[in-house]
Amino acid sequence: MNDLSGGPARPSLTAGLVGLIRRKPMTSADFEAAALFTLDAVANSLAGRNSEPGRVLMNWWHARGGSNTAPEPARLAFLMAALCHILETDDLHRESVVHPGCVVVPAAWALATARGASGRAFLQAVLQGFEATTRVGMAVGPAHYRIWHNTATCGPFGSAMAGASLLGLSDEAAVHALGNAGSQSAGLWQFLETGAMTKHLHAGHAAEAGVNAAELAAFGFTGPPQILEGEKGFFRAACPDADPDAVLRAPGAPWQLVRTSIKPWPSCRHTHPTIDAAVELRLQLTAEGLDTNAIEAIDISTYGAAIDVCDRPVVQSDYEAKFSLQHAAAAALLFPVVDFEAFGAAARQRCAPLAARARIEAANPWASAYPQNWGGRVRLRMADGRELVAERTDAKGDPEAPLSPNEMVEKAGMLLRHGGLANPTPFIDAVLGLAESATLPDLSLV
């Protein structure tokens, strides 16, 4: 292939990304990690049914005849992905600010189920999908995130890459799949103004778009190879401070899946350093025989993106509370467990007076460390004049402070029971054994 000047065409970033991913070796530890992240994502999908948006999605699914015939992979991927992103307990890759699991796992699961793929082939697709979406996400630049939801815009690259793996696409066809997936990148933060359900649609569309793009590529449908760096491509259109080199940087690094964080609490990941620090302070208050009435003010220091998304002094819904640093700090100081109920109506009413005492600022070292590290500080100014302080460089569940496999299994069990599985153990065991399984376990969303 030649360019318009008659010389050899410059390889596209997408082609480089496909090649990089397909050359990376996979170890047994990588497959074990992929199984744990799959468990987390699928548990989130099943638990997401037990929510107001989840019930809306399931009503829509049934109204369209979802239980009458085997669903098309792209449509099932949409449902699973949208459900996965509801409860704010799905994974998060810090450097890309992408939730890869809620897009990649549903896309891979739907295709693998439809094609009777082995568990090992499925896990390979998951690893490759995580790699694609996070590498694109690391390149978009911080300005993109102020307007665009990275999971929505970068997610289609991951679902398409997972699809390319399961469909056995050639490198050229995989590039076409990613090109057409990227051309469907979309997803704006405007929904935060009203707490609309749009965020769940973002994950659903990202999974569905990638599956469709991969399946079309299998039939020879072409896509733009320079979708990322082209003059009318993704970076030029939506990423004013893009870092294109990040797409292919450090090809020998570990799989990005193992650099992804798992959430221990059901709220926006930006609130987690604050929750983690506030939990420490609650334990200190308890040890001293004090309660929150002794707190005159709460000073929260963090990074700019956390404030952009989660500065919400007054909250009117569960969803708004999950995107409020003020409520998150109050909940962690008031309640022994930060769970789903900590963001409900009764909890919001109880937390409101304490949340009103919280002040937020962007400050170093946390501001300059973002997005490589998501940290922060909580300072309590006490009525007796003392100050109690707790800081976090990283949050619980980050690669530097990971949940143990047992903690991840416990979290999955909680989510699966929340989703209606009285005995989740057999399903958990089946997912964790995927690397040696000929097929995927049965998953009924209906």
The predicted-structure confidence for 145-176, as pLDDT tens digits, reads as follows 999 999 999 999 999 999 999 999 999 999 99
Q: Rounded distance, CA 160 to CA 174, Å?
A: 8
pTM value > 0.95: no
- Give pLDDT, residue 445: 61
Residues of the chain with pLDDT > 70, as a percent, come to 97
pLDDT given for residue 313 in this prediction: 96
Contacts of residue 312, defined as CB under 8 A and 6 or more positions apart, other chains included, come to 320, 323, 324, 325, 326, 327
User: Greater confidence, 195 or 41?
Assistant: 41
Residue 103 near residue 159, CB atoms below 8 Å? yes
Indicate the angle between helix axes 119-139 and 150-166, nearest 10 degrees: 140
- pLDDT value of position 9: 59
Nearest to 159 by CA among 178, 173, 141: 178
User: Average pLDDT, stretch 122-136?
Assistant: 98
Identify the structural domains of the chain with CATH numbers, from first to last: 13-264+403-436 (1.10.4100.10), 269-392 (3.30.1330.120)
pLDDT in tens, 9-43: 578 999 999 999 999 999 999 999 999 999 999 99
pLDDT tens digits for range 337-383: 999 999 999 999 999 999 999 999 999 999 999 988 999 999 999 99
Give pLDDT tens digits for 259-316. Answer: 999 999 999 999 999 999 999 999 999 999 999 999 999 999 999 999 999 999 999 9
